[in-house]
Structure 1
Amino acid sequence: MIKLKHYYRLNQQLCNKVVFNDLHTSLIEFWQYGIHLIELDYLKKLAYHNSKTINELKEKMFDDYCLNFGEEFLIKNALTFNGEEWGTWTDKKLQQNFNVNKLLRIQNVRRLLVDPKNNIEFYNLDYKNIINKYYMDKNIVWYLDPPYFYNEGGVYKHSKMNFYELKDNILNIKGKWILSIDNSEFIKDLFKEFNINEFKWVYSSTNCHNKKPKLGQELIITNFKECD
């Protein structure tokens, strides 16, 4: 899904144009088209706490409503890993990943996507094509979010990544770039000549039932320092 980094840029009007690209066709189609189809008030009736079990959610979903593409994608993305076709829906996934908090974030992002002040383009291309299209522009700030190193070759069927090739392509970029990826010694060594920071973040859309929220751990790698 669109990360808070992108939401912040749009919300604060920090740039005059935003380009989103992903090789995952359904993901791009959701943010470009599907998000505008969903009826959030109805989905809130399906979400936790209004549906406290998967059986209750399924009964409401299949008996009362025919889901459109946007709604189906959103629910599947929340209840299965990375929105894959396969995967078991569990009560825990419902509680953590499909709750009103997540839907409020979706609502806020949709508002920004339709704001005429925001110049937004969507692409469904190999990342190398996007770099080749824009790499000479020194005024662009790039945010690169490749598949996690430890997931490479795993469940992300659409996103097998050659990290040596990734670095070679990033080096062609004339503007500033930010790369976020999971924390691994391989990536630290591969990008050792750049600025590397270890970063922990909270999964803000999860519902933890008064438990300590889950932390994600990533590397934030840049070709510039904050004061540049």
Structure 2
Amino acid sequence: MLKPLISRMGGKSKLRKTIIGMIPEHSCYVELFFGAGWVYFGKEKSKVEVINDIDRELVNLFKMLKYHAEEVRRLMTYEICSRDIFSEYKNIDINSLTDIQRAIRFIYLLSQSFASKGDNFGYGTTGMPGPQIFNTENLLKIKERLRNTYIENLNFEEIIKKYDRPHTFFFCDPPYFETKGYKDKFTEEYHIKLRDLLRNVEGKFILTINDHKQVREWYKGFNIIEAEVGYSVCKDNKGRRKFKELIITNY
């Protein structure tokens, strides 16, 4: 299993073995909300693979890793952990950067920020800075993994309509319902649209989402498995607890 290069809110590091063990037989694998890609980087290759995310900077990162991993690796070796550099990257006009420079900026902001949100510089007295700045050995392995993968930057509706076939499997990890911290707002209307589309797909899907009364109502009639996962985005022990999640399938 490969370890993703970045961390993202709601990443499936704790659940990926369970999810991978549940994936049905398929020819075409599609991730609607890619994020860090814990499941994709952990599973065996499928005949056809598609990764999609609405975040333009995230998609640009994976494009640059697919086509220019060696240059990304070279430039990352010059980076150091600095509050000033973090501030410069955060406030720079990204339109003044090349696509490769944008990818470096994106990795830097996520790896050197608190909870990998890219907002506030992360620092501490008990641990070293984010290892992504200093360890780039994984880059070429990630490039090889991406070699034969379609990389999309579309909304989930378009992806489902383009790739839905009887032999397609969709892994869906949307922003959690009524949960703060996501960069892109995912409203109740979007959740309902996603549910309606998944209800009518020709292929199969796994959906992971927070255990919420409204979510259970939306997906009544589907197969629902409960899971408990320990997550923490807090500096103190009060925030270190287990959260209930749902794994929903149509098979």
Query: Are the aligned partners of 1:198 and 1:220 in contact in 2 as well (CA < 8 Å)?
Result: yes
Moved more, 104-113 or 17-26: 104-113
Using a 3 Å threshold, how does the CA distance of structure 1 residues 40 and 201 change in structure 2: closer, same or farther? farther
Give the aligned partner of residue 122 of structure 2: 90
The CA distance in 1 between the partners of 2:220 and 2:135, in whole Å, is: 36
1:1-228 map, 5 Å: 1-9=35-43, 12-13=44-45, 15-34=46-65, 36=69, 37-39=71-73, 42-43=76-77, 46=80, 54-55=82-83, 68-78=101-111, 79=113, 83-84=117-118, 87-92=119-124, 95=127, 98-99=130-131, 108-114=141-147, 119-135=148-164, 137-151=165-179, 155-157=182-184, 159-162=186-189, 163-201=191-229, 217-224=244-251
The CA distance in 2 between the partners of 1:92 and 1:33, in whole Å, is: 31
Once the two structures are superposed, what CA deviation does each residue of 1:48-91 show, in whole Å capped at 9, x if it has no partner?
Answer: xxx5xx55986xx9xxxx9822221012123156655xx22121
Kindly state the Cα deviation for residue 134 of structure 1 after the two structures are TM-superposed.
2.2
Using a 3 Å threshold, how does the CA distance of structure 1 residues 98 and 140 change in structure 2: closer, same or farther? same
Residue 68 of structure 1 aligns to a residue in which SS? helix
Kindly state the Cα deviation for residue 106 of structure 1 after the two structures are TM-superposed.
5.3
The CA distance in 1 between the partners of 2:230 and 2:142, in whole Å, is: 19
AA in 2 matched with 1:30? L
Kindly state the Cα deviation for residue 107 of structure 1 after the two structures are TM-superposed.
5.3
Q: CA RMSD in A?
A: 3.9
Using a 3 Å threshold, how does the CA distance of structure 1 residues 176 and 201 change in structure 2: closer, same or farther? same
Q: Which runs of 5+ in 2 are unaligned?
A: 1-34, 90-96
- TM-score of the pair, normalised by structure 1: 0.68
Give the aligned partner of residue 7 of structure 2: none
The CA distance in 1 between the partners of 2:143 and 2:243, in whole Å, is: 25
Using a 3 Å threshold, how does the CA distance of structure 1 residues 44 and 178 change in structure 2: closer, same or farther? farther
Using a 3 Å threshold, how does the CA distance of structure 1 residues 107 and 34 change in structure 2: closer, same or farther? closer
Moved more, 137-146 or 87-96: 87-96
Kindly state the Cα deviation for residue 98 of structure 1 after the two structures are TM-superposed.
2.1
Q: How many residues align?
A: 196
The CA distance in 2 between the partners of 1:97 and 1:200, in whole Å, is: 29
AA in 2 matched with 1:174? E
Residue 220 of structure 1 aligns to a residue in which SS? strand
The CA distance in 2 between the partners of 1:138 and 1:214, in whole Å, is: 39
Kindly state the Cα deviation for residue 146 of structure 1 after the two structures are TM-superposed.
1.0
Moved more, 161-170 or 142-151: 161-170
Residue 72 of structure 2 aligns to a residue in which SS? coil
Once the two structures are superposed, what CA deviation does each residue of 1:199-222 show, in whole Å capped at 9, x if it has no partner?
Answer: 24466xx9x9xxxx8766431111
Once the two structures are superposed, what CA deviation does each residue of 1:159-193 show, in whole Å capped at 9, x if it has no partner?
Answer: 44522222111112111101011222221221121
Q: Which runs of 5+ in 1 are unaligned?
A: none
Query: Are the aligned partners of 2:73 and 2:139 in contact in 1 as well (CA < 8 Å)?
Result: no
- TM-score of the pair, normalised by structure 2: 0.62
The CA distance in 1 between the partners of 2:244 and 2:137, in whole Å, is: 24
Identity %, equivalent residues: 20
Using a 3 Å threshold, how does the CA distance of structure 1 residues 40 and 161 change in structure 2: closer, same or farther? farther
